[in-house]
Structure 1
Amino acid sequence: MKVQLLHLDDCPNTADAEARTRRALDTLAVTDVPVESVTIRTEAEATSNRFGGSPTIQVNEADLFPATPVRGLACQIYATEKGFAGAPTQEQLEEAMRDRL
């Protein structure tokens, strides 16, 4: 299993997304898989990595939360129980990952 966190260099939600992704993996007993941080710097990198906005969490190169493709280097907004947020909740991550295990 390959887990990647794609993000912009100055994304304020990267740390939360990374921590929640790690905790979700740990909760699902997938403790041996690292969360690879991938900084997206150009539109070409965004296109080649299927970047959905910052942060994008991918498992085996598939976006856990596929949405309308983002043009350019932009943030991503996630719908959560408490409203819109800059990163998915740990519970959302666990549910999305469970479907891929």
Structure 2
Amino acid sequence: MGIVLAAVPLLIMPYLSYVQRRAGRELGSASAVADFKQTLLYSCLSGMLLSGSNSTHSSADPGATRSSRRRSLLNTTGATGRTAVMEIELLIVPDCPNEAPAARLLRQALDDVGLRTMRFTTVVVTSPEDAEKQQFTGSPTIRVDGTDPFAEPGQPPGMACRIYHTAMGPAGVPDLATLRQALKQAADH
């Protein structure tokens, strides 16, 4: 059964990555074009699994999957050796100038706490109603298991850029050390 589960992505993923890349180019979406690399990498990893290779491969892609509704719930083994089940989301407004820095920061924090295989989902908040429903207080917002570790009480939902209070002063992304701590705490529970 495990061989079948590894073989199916090997057969399907190259086609899906081609479709993602083509659609991303047609839509002018850099994130969708970048996501095709991750899909193709997944196909390669399936091939490595089938061949019995113990090689590792890393990608410059920050590991984000862009979706307006989809959630990512993954199992991964952290630095503690325990399996963590976590849902990681990066919520943004369209054309957020801090999307790429936030995605890089989140990828670095995940790597730093030993969650190198953990992926996250980028969720695009497109309307004030969606912001209200998501309790979205600004772009970018990082959620760990549905919780915003940087939430400020009384902050109303809205379609705006978010300002984080960091040790270096106001910033468009959270502090790396605080993000690492939030991820490690979630992984340990």
Task: Compute the TM-score of the two structures, normalised by the length of structure 1.
Answer: 0.91
Task: Report the CA distance between 1:70 and its aligned residue.
Answer: 3.1
Q: Distance in 1 between matches of 2:108 and 2:156?
A: 27
The list of structure 1 runs, each at least 4 consecutive aligned residues, that deviate by more than 3 angstroms after superposition, is none
Verify: 1:64 aligned to 2:149, yes or no: yes
Counterpart position of 2:166: 80
Counterpart position of 1:10: 95
Superposition CA RMSD, Å: 1.3
Match of 2:89, SS state, is strand
> Which protein, 1 or 2, shows the higher relative CO under an 8 Å CA cutoff with sep ≥ 6?
1
Q: Deviations over 1:31-66 (max 9, x none)?
A: 222121111100111122221210000011111211
Code of the residue aligned with 2:186 in structure 1: it is R
Instruction: Tell me if structure 1 keeps the 8 A contact 2:136–2:157.
Output: no
Task: Report the CA distance between 1:75 and its aligned residue.
Answer: 1.1
Q: Distance in 1 between matches of 2:127 and 2:184?
A: 31
Counterpart position of 2:107: 22
Verify: 1:91 aligned to 2:177, yes or no: yes
Taking the TM superposition and a 5 Å limit, the aligned residue runs for 1:28-47 are 28-47=113-132
Match of 1:99, SS state, is helix
- Structure 1's unaligned 5+ residue stretches are none
- Structure 2's unaligned 5+ residue stretches are 1-85
Which has the larger Rg? Answer: 2
Task: Report the CA distance between 1:30 and its aligned residue.
Answer: 1.1
Q: Distance in 2 between matches of 1:6 and 1:86?
A: 13
Counterpart position of 2:135: 50
Decide which structure has greater helix share.
2
Code of the residue aligned with 1:96 in structure 2: it is A
Task: Compute the TM-score of the two structures, normalised by the length of structure 2.
Answer: 0.51
Q: Distance in 1 between matches of 2:126 and 2:164?
A: 22
Q: Distance in 1 between matches of 2:87 and 2:117?
A: 11
% identical aligned pairs: 36
Q: Distance in 2 between matches of 1:7 and 1:78?
A: 14
From the superposition, tell whether residues 21 and 37 of structure 1 become closer, same or farther in structure 2 (CA, over 3 Å). same
Task: Report the CA distance between 1:11 and its aligned residue.
Answer: 1.3
